[in-house]
Structure 1
Amino acid sequence: MDGNRVLALGLGVTAPWRLVEQRLDTDRQPHELHLRVEAERGAQFGCPVCGRLCQAHDFKDLTWRHLNFFQHHCYITAKVPRTNCPEHGVRRVQVPWAREGSHFTLLFEQAALLLVREMPVLTAARMIGITDQRLWRIVEHYVAKAVAGLDLGALKAFAFDETAARRGHVYVTIFIDLDRRRQPVLFVTPGKGKETVARFRAFLAAHGGEPGRVVEVVCDMSKAFLAAVGEQFPTAAVTVDWFHVVQLFTKAVDTVRKAEARLVKMPGAVRWAVLKAGDGPLTEKQAEALAELESGGFLTAAAWRIKELLRWVRHAETPRAARWRLTHFLRHARDRIASSPLLDAFRAALDTVETHRHRILQRWTSTHSNARLEALNGMFQLVRARARGYRNVDTFIAMIYLVGAPLPKLVNSI
């Protein structure tokens, strides 16, 4: 078997196409292997619209980047015909080794997507020898194609949350399927607030889902989010996820610490110590700071101790026990905190929990794990690392879909 036939088999070139020439250019660094493909003389080609066999109208030389041949960059060049269909006129045919409009072969794009899922985009782009802009275009094309094909007909419960896309109050809102253990991301949209929920409802309806079938929605205590869910999914039960309850009090403790630090000297390392759990992985300095905080009669210590009691509520085993524990937590917290204006943020957190206690208690009757968003927060951090150097919110969204949405068949079947 000659070299041309071996390479043709590796490329997947079939009739009427054949490999006619191979040339290694050693004057360039890295070296370039150029492969020329031509159609058999007199071959007919299917109309790109209807498939009717037609004679070639004319030809144009096109080139595509292919997977490296050993250490050499590889390029395929072919004279691609246009057909003159009696019904659809003159149109360029589609070659079997590349998608329309792309300057890369399908195999090259498949390899690029696999790399992007495992490493930062800039690193992947340098590894395969293209610019990150061109790699982003590949990612965005296939992600958009896959997302368009999502079937949400079985969706019954979802959660959503906002995450910062970059500094400067730029956010995206992410919706996940609570019944999917792996790759649960369904929809990602720029911004935050009521309009994001309306966009998701439209997306759901366009992908085979029915808003009336949704029985549960998990979110935070944002007034905008809760109002939007009531408008767009009026028959669904709303559960406030526990992650946001803890987050609410953690932020309140930090606000108290900042206010108190303006008036008195605080122990060293206390900033990060109060953000952690008391039985968590504290450094020696952080443990010493907490001990000094409690023995020194600081208001921050009182706020931190109350925040730590949330675990007692969380570990309730039944809805009745949870209701009792939450009631006593709120009563105990109000009795323990002083009337100092430094604790205003903490009182506001208690008021928020009081307002939404029925939605928080829904956690104990829900069949879904409300820790999903907390776990996904780690995935979003991973996405930021993978998307390092992303140029806009759209590319960040594309990476979230690629890593977190059920799109593996796309990557494996290009």
Structure 2
Amino acid sequence: MLIKTLLNKCQKFKSFVYQSVELAIHKGAEVLEITVIPRKNGLAICSGCQKPSAGYDRLNIRRFEFIPIWGYRTFLLYQMRRVNCPTCGVKIEEVPWAQGKNELTKTYMQFLAFWARKMSWKEVAETFNTSWEKVFHSVEYIVDWGRKHRCLDKIKAIGVDEIAYQLGHKYLTVVYQIDRGYTRLLWIGEERTEKTIRSFFEFFTEARSKQLEFVCSDMWKPYVKVIGELAGQALHIL
């Protein structure tokens, strides 16, 4: 089976096609280079307003690092188009496999971030022949995406606690959703003061706080005071 066939099965991009796959030399090492081209008559997407726009010109070929295939570092090669957008003016097109000027594909960042949950970032970098910085940026990308797309509605139970992260009584306040069958970290704040826990409830909003049915915490007075004030209807389990 051809590599292009596999790519079309697992990583197909609307309005783009895989033109060729070649084994090449890049920075002294053998790599797989996958050339991507736009479909005929396909309009580019403006990176400013995300609307289809007429072409303006083409830039030099850019390399986007993709998931390694059979141990070979793999790159998508694409000649970026600039568009003449009636709203935004001349802009570089938006492509579905990468974000902004990032040289890593979204798929590769998802791949590295997945393994970063199972191994140290250094081990991930060494295993997949990449750098610690690329693993870091991959995790950062996934966290940012998750924060933008998470839903905070219909949360009925939260847990509040502190963790020491440094000698000398340096603490972080952490708040989790602890509904039955669904547990996740919601928020982290510096210190364990009354101001800190108030910051969480400001982030969470008054409407959501009034829908809470259970709050679990220790007997740290700043927590007890603010929880009673801002989520007093909830059963507070100490």
Please give the range of the TM-score, normalised by the shorter of the 2 chains. 0.7 to 0.9
Partner of 2:85: 85
Partner of 1:157: 157
Contact 1:4 1:19 in 2 (8 A): no
CA distance in 2, matches of 1:175, 1:218: 10
Partner of 1:180: 180
Residue type of the alignment partner of 1:202: E
CA distance in 1, matches of 2:167, 2:62: 42
Unaligned runs of 5+ in 1: 241-414
Q: How far did 1:74 drift?
A: 1.1
CA shift in 2, pair 1:45/1:168, >3 Å: same
Is 1:224 the equivalent of 2:204?
no
Partner of 1:148: 148
Q: How far did 1:121 drift?
A: 2.2
CA shift in 2, pair 1:183/1:24, >3 Å: farther
CA shift in 2, pair 1:60/1:167, >3 Å: farther
Is 1:47 the equivalent of 2:43?
no
CA distance in 2, matches of 1:109, 1:130: 11
Q: How far did 1:68 drift?
A: 1.2
Contact 2:82 2:91 in 1 (8 A): yes
1:184 counterpart SS class: strand
Q: How far did 1:7 drift?
A: 6.4
Contact 2:173 2:188 in 1 (8 A): yes
Residue type of the alignment partner of 1:176: Y
Partner of 2:139: 139
Taking CA–CA contacts closer than 8 Å with sequence separation of 6 or more, which of the two structures ends up with the larger relative contact order? 1
1:245-287 per-position Cα deviation (integer Å, ceiling 9, x unaligned)? xxxxxxxxxxxxxxxxxxxxxxxxxxxxxxxxxxxxxxxxxxx
CA distance in 1, matches of 2:21, 2:233: 66
CA shift in 2, pair 1:183/1:230, >3 Å: closer
Equivalent residues in 2 for 1:1-400 (5 A)? 5-6=4-5, 9=8, 11-13=11-13, 15-20=15-20, 22-25=22-25, 28-29=28-29, 31-39=30-38, 43-48=42-47, 49-205=49-205, 209-240=207-238
Aligned-pair identity in percent equals: 19
Residue type of the alignment partner of 1:150: R
2:124 counterpart SS class: helix
2:130 counterpart SS class: coil
Larger gyration radius, structure 1 or structure 2: 1
CA shift in 2, pair 1:122/1:21, >3 Å: closer
Q: How far did 1:202 drift?
A: 1.8
1:61-96 per-position Cα deviation (integer Å, ceiling 9, x unaligned)? 221111112121112221111111122211111222
Q: How far did 1:50 drift?
A: 4.6
What count of residue pairs does the alignment treat as equivalent? 236
TM-score (norm 2): 0.84
1:308-336 per-position Cα deviation (integer Å, ceiling 9, x unaligned)? xxxxxxxxxxxxxxxxxxxxxxxxxxxxx
Residue type of the alignment partner of 1:44: L
CA distance in 2, matches of 1:47, 1:125: 33
CA shift in 2, pair 1:231/1:101, >3 Å: farther
Contact 1:81 1:93 in 2 (8 A): yes
1:219-246 per-position Cα deviation (integer Å, ceiling 9, x unaligned)? 1111222222233323334321xxxxxx
CA distance in 2, matches of 1:84, 1:26: 33
Q: How far did 1:162 drift?
A: 0.6
Unaligned runs of 5+ in 2: none
Contact 1:8 1:19 in 2 (8 A): no
CA shift in 2, pair 1:231/1:78, >3 Å: same
